[in-house]
Chains A and B, each alone.
Chain A
Amino acid sequence: MKLTPKLFWMVTLICGALAMMGPFWVMLSTSLMTQAQVFKFPPDLFPNPIQWGNYARVFQQAPMLQYFFNSVIVASVTTLGQVFLCAMAAYGFSRLHFPHKNLFFLVFLVTMMIPPQVNIVPLFFVMKTFHWVDTYAGLIVPGLFGAFGVFLLRQWFNALPKELEEAAYMDGCNPFQVFWRVALPLAMPALVALGIFVFISSWNSFMWPLIITQSEALRTLPVGIAALKSSYRDVTDWSILMAASTVSIVPIVLVFLMGQRQFIQGILQGGVKE
């Protein structure tokens, strides 16, 4: 009686998991195949023989370590910066009082509805005025702010009991100290969740790094991997491309595993409105 619904959900979840894992498996197995095996039809599920050499070739063909370094720098500075700035703004919107606060907040949220493609050209002009084209600053600074983060964290701050902060004021803290020592530590799960979101989107971002970088030394991983693809579809070495893609998702998996618990907590609580 009780077993049937459980079984049903188990089967459903397993099917869902398989559907999610399918593309990863294709990526992983293709990365270990010979070019001839890649094009076999019907396709093989397992590489045979296993071509570990593909991974070595990735690192020989392209300055992958440089791309990696750039991606790590860009994604981590963007993440730290955005989490910090969004936390300050969110705290302001949640706790401070100033005229037209809600109007400003609304304007903020509206920016979430502007598709990022629309911004590319004006943003490029701004970057050019600063001489930031083809620099780390050009890669990082435009990613330092996001309305989504402000929204997520404001919800969190709203849910915190005011009494804790009031106690801190009684003990002589100024507003910044209250923010820094009381509110921020309490918001840790939300900060981690936002951090993971930002890290992943910065790590995956393609169009902006493609446009703002010119030299190979500044390329991030997605742009570098795109460069491995041939302009002639037929000539592309898919196993190399998949090996490079596999290498590139390792840091994301690590970041997620490290912050997993707080990530889920953060989404659960940040998503609840008062």
Chain B
Amino acid sequence: MLQPCVRHFSPVKIVIFSKVYKKGLNYKLRGIKKILTFSVAKTWLAGCAVTVCMALAASGFAGCGNTAQSDSTTLKLSTWGSAEELTLLRKLVDAFEQRHPKVRVEIVHIPENYFQKLHILLAGGLAPDVIFVNSLSYPVYADSDIFLPLDQLLDEPVDALGRETFFETSLKALTWEKKLYAIPRDVSNLVVYYNADLFRQAGVQPPGADWTMADLVRLGKKLTRDVDHDGKRDQWGVSFYPKPPLFWLPFVWSEGGDIFDKTLAEFELDSADAAQALQFYADLRHRYHVAPTREEAGSANASQLFLQNKLAMMVSGRWTVPVLRTQAKFNWDVAPFPRGKAGSVVGVDASGYAIAKSTKHPRESWELIAFLSSPEAQDAFSESGLIVPARKDVAQSEAFLAAPPAHGRYFVESIETGYPSHTPVRWNEIAEELNLALEPVWEGREKAGVAMRRVAPRIEKLLQ
């Protein structure tokens, strides 16, 4: 029987091949030619085919990376954000380029998985020069010594930028171990949005500047109703977000509790004050019955319920303003977060621009940040309605305060009384643990104190 396709490779050939193959890994064309002359690559290990193909392609594409060098500087600026935000940023960057003809800015827009990709870029030595970060997520980078400390730059004011330009809390939120690592663009905090029409129908006064947790329950009870009398509630007093923590932390802070101690070494949610505050939040659902349960809300989130006239009060941030401006068919306004025994304390997160330590153009990077922090740029960002500017003068300007909502000043006032976010390096993992531990509490199946004592050892391990 004829068996022409039987091809035994002699051991000698195999040895030579493996040597050549190793060389081939260096992607030297010489090695590849040898592989080809042995005519092994055609039908041998397919992995080798890939190598050849990669190597050939490498020789073909190698030129692509190094385009002609000119005397202009290219800065890379990485950011997340929607298409509208990007359009806005692009306009500003164009204006910057006009003023600095020798600098070109390339925007690296990462719409999803921002920090995952940033991780890889940093690890790969391809960090952008200017990196947009958020106070909740940046400590891991600051702690790894990846960003340039910016204190000096702010202390010798260039372009009329100084510490006093920004809200103190926003600078604190972006400070890690006493060093400032990013210049804040915006501040994000929480207020209470309310549907003024529902309050008028129920004949009660909407919340004002000094309202308390007790008022929240009282008003909530008046505004939770069964509108169509089918035996099921279809209008609720106040929104309920089981996660992320930023929605329940203000209840803890306003009652004098905290999640960690000042040095981020101890977990403190298992203290009596904090556990009581968490229990109060759960009670809004299961004891006072003023917030929708998970079953009642279904797939609708708070802003959907709010837009459908089914929610009288919603705890939310500035980002809801554009939607309400365009889609709300009722009168609405905002009030500060209700006061507990420690006052009205919400978290103050900040987003801002950091400079990568690896940049070759720290000067130009700083100029770009200074421009993006100018009143002109901050005006443009805040006009979109999405953000509360981190610059005091812009946040207190007529243009910002006059636009709806009528009491927009509460956004600004609660920055000063707020609690700058101060998260440990492994915050993402901690938040995940807390979400899991609190789930039975939010479902009314467990007491907050019990859940927190149970999870405490796990959190302390993550704090070490």
Would you give 10 A-B contacts (Cβ < 8 Å), ordered by A? A41-B298, A97-B7, A99-B9, A104-B45, A124-B124, A132-B58, A178-B5, A211-B116, A228-B82, A231-B111
Task: Tell me, yes or no, whether B211 is within 8 Å of chain A by CB.
Answer: no
Query: From A214, which residue of chain B is reached at the shortest CB distance?
Result: B108
Q: Is the CB of B82 within 8 A of A175?
A: no
Query: Is the Cβ of A234 less than 8 Å from the Cβ of B301?
Result: yes
Residues of chain B lying within 8 A (CB to CB) of residue A246: none
| A73 CB to nearest chain B CB (Å) | 15
**B46→A145 contact, CB < 8 A:** yes
A residues near B5, Cβ cutoff 8 Å: 95-97, 165, 169, 175, 178
**Among A98, A124, A228, A232, contact of B319 (Cβ-Cβ < 8 Å):** A232
Known interface pairs A92-B43, A98-B44; A232-B386 also in contact (CB < 8 Å): yes
Contact residues in A for B84 (Cβ distance below 8 Å): 230
Does any Cβ of A come within 8 Å of B50's Cβ?
yes
CB <8 Å contact, A230 and B300:
no
Which chain A positions have C-beta within 8 A of B61?
130-132, 135, 137
Spot the interface stretch: B283-291, B303-311, B407-415. Answer: B303-311
Query: Interface segment, B173-181, B320-328, B390-398?
Result: B320-328
A39 located at the interface, meaning its Cβ lies under 8 Å from any Cβ of chain B in the complex: yes
Q: Does B65 make an interface contact (CB < 8 A)?
A: yes
CA distance A195 to B14 in the complex (A): 33
Inside 8 A of A97's CB, which chain B residues have their CB? 5-8
Contact status of A85 and B53, CB under 8 A, knowing A145-B46, A175-B5: yes
Tell me the interface secondary structure of chain A in the complex: helix
Check A211–B54 contact: CB distance below 8 A. no
B30 at the interface (CB under 8 A from A): no
Q: Which of B124-139 contact A (CB under 8 A)?
A: 124-126
Q: Which residues of B contact A (CB under 8 A)?
A: 2, 4-9, 14, 27, 42-47, 49-50, 53-54, 57-58, 61-62, 64-66, 76, 80-86, 106, 108-113, 116-117, 120, 123-126, 298, 300-301, 303-304, 307-308, 310, 316, 319-320, 322-323, 327, 386
Q: Name the distance in Å between A151's Cβ and chain B's nearest Cβ.
A: 12
Complex Cα gap A141–B55 (Å): 11
* A233 contacts B by Cβ under 8 Å: yes
In the complex, A108→B50 CA distance in Å? 13
**Which 10 A-B pairs give the minimum distances between C-beta atoms?**
A89-B46, A131-B65, A230-B82, A227-B111, A232-B319, A169-B4, A226-B111, A234-B303, A226-B112, A92-B43
User: Quick check: B82 and A229 within 8 Å, CB to CB?
Assistant: yes
Number of A-B contacts (CB under 8 A): 160
**Known: A85-B53, A229-B82, A229-B111. Contact between A135 and B64, CB under 8 A?**
yes
Residues of A near B85 (CB, < 8 A) are: 230-231
In the bound complex, do residue A41 and residue B304 qualify as a contact, i.e. CB atoms below 8 Å apart?
A: yes
The answer to whether residues A41 and B300 also contact, given A125-B124, A210-B117, A234-B320 and a CB cut-off of 8 A, is yes
Q: A121-B123, A131-B66, A227-B83 are in contact. Are A207 and B43 (CB under 8 A)?
A: no
Q: Which B residues are in CB contact (< 8 Å) with A89?
A: 45-46, 49
**Which A residues lie within 8 Å of B57 (CB)?**
137, 141
B residues less than 8 Å from A121 (CB atoms): 120, 123
> Which chain A residue has the least Cβ–Cβ distance from B84?
A230
Do B327 and A210 touch (CB < 8 A)? no
Contact B2 A235 (CB under 8 A): no
- B53 near A141: Cβ-Cβ < 8 Å: yes
A99 neighbours in B (Cβ, 8 Å): 8-9, 14
Selected contact of B43 from candidates A169, A176, A227, CB within 8 Å: A176
Contact A98 B64 (CB under 8 A): no
Knowing A62-B83, A207-B113, the reply to whether A150 touches B323 (Cβ < 8 A) is: no
- A47: min CB distance to chain B, Å: 17
Across-interface contacts of A230 in B (CB, < 8 A): 81-82, 84-85
Give the residue name and chain of the A residue nearest to B66 (CB).
A131
Given contacts A39-B327, A128-B125, A227-B109, 15 further A-B contacts (CB under 8 A): A36-B327, A81-B53, A85-B46, A85-B49, A85-B50, A88-B49, A91-B43, A98-B44, A124-B124, A128-B126, A133-B124, A133-B126, A137-B57, A227-B86, A229-B111
In whole angstroms, how far apart are the Cα atoms of A62 and B310 in the complex? 34
Encoded as 1 (CB less than 8 Å from any B CB) or 0, chain A from 142 to 158 comes to 00110000100000000
What residues of A have a CB within 8 angstroms of the CB of B124 in the complex?
Answer: 124-125, 128, 133
Q: Which residues of B are found within 8 Å of A235, using beta-carbon distances?
A: 82, 319, 322-323, 386
Complexed CA–CA distance, A135 and B63 (Å): 12
Chain B positions within 8 Å of A165 at CB level = 5
A120 to B66: give the CA distance in the assembly, Å.
24
A74 at the interface (CB under 8 A from B): no
Q: Kindly state the separation between the CA atoms of A216 and B40 in the bound complex, as whole angstroms.
A: 41
For B11, the closest partner residue in chain A by CB is A99
- Residue on B nearest A169 in the bound complex, by CB: B4
In the bound complex, do residue A39 and residue B65 qualify as a contact, i.e. CB atoms below 8 Å apart?
A: no
A124 to B120, CA, bound (A): 8
User: Separation in Å of the B137 CB from the closest CB of chain A?
Assistant: 12
Which A residues touch B109, using CB under 8 A?
216, 227
| A136, closest chain B residue (CB) | B61
Tell me if A7 is interfacial: C-beta within 8 Å of chain B. no
Chain A residues with CB below 8 A from B43, complex form: 88, 91-92, 96, 175-176, 179
Q: How far is the CA of A95 from the CA of B43 in the complex (A)?
A: 10
List of A residues within 8 angstroms of B53 by Cβ: 81, 85, 141, 144
Distance to closest chain A CB from B91 (angstroms): 15
Residues of A contacting B44 in the complex (Cβ-Cβ under 8 angstroms):
92, 98
Whether the pair A231, B82 counts as a contact (CB closer than 8 A) is yes
A131 to B85, CA, bound (A): 30
Q: Which residues, 100 to 131 on A, are CB-close (under 8 Å) to B?
A: 104, 108, 120-121, 124-125, 128, 130-131
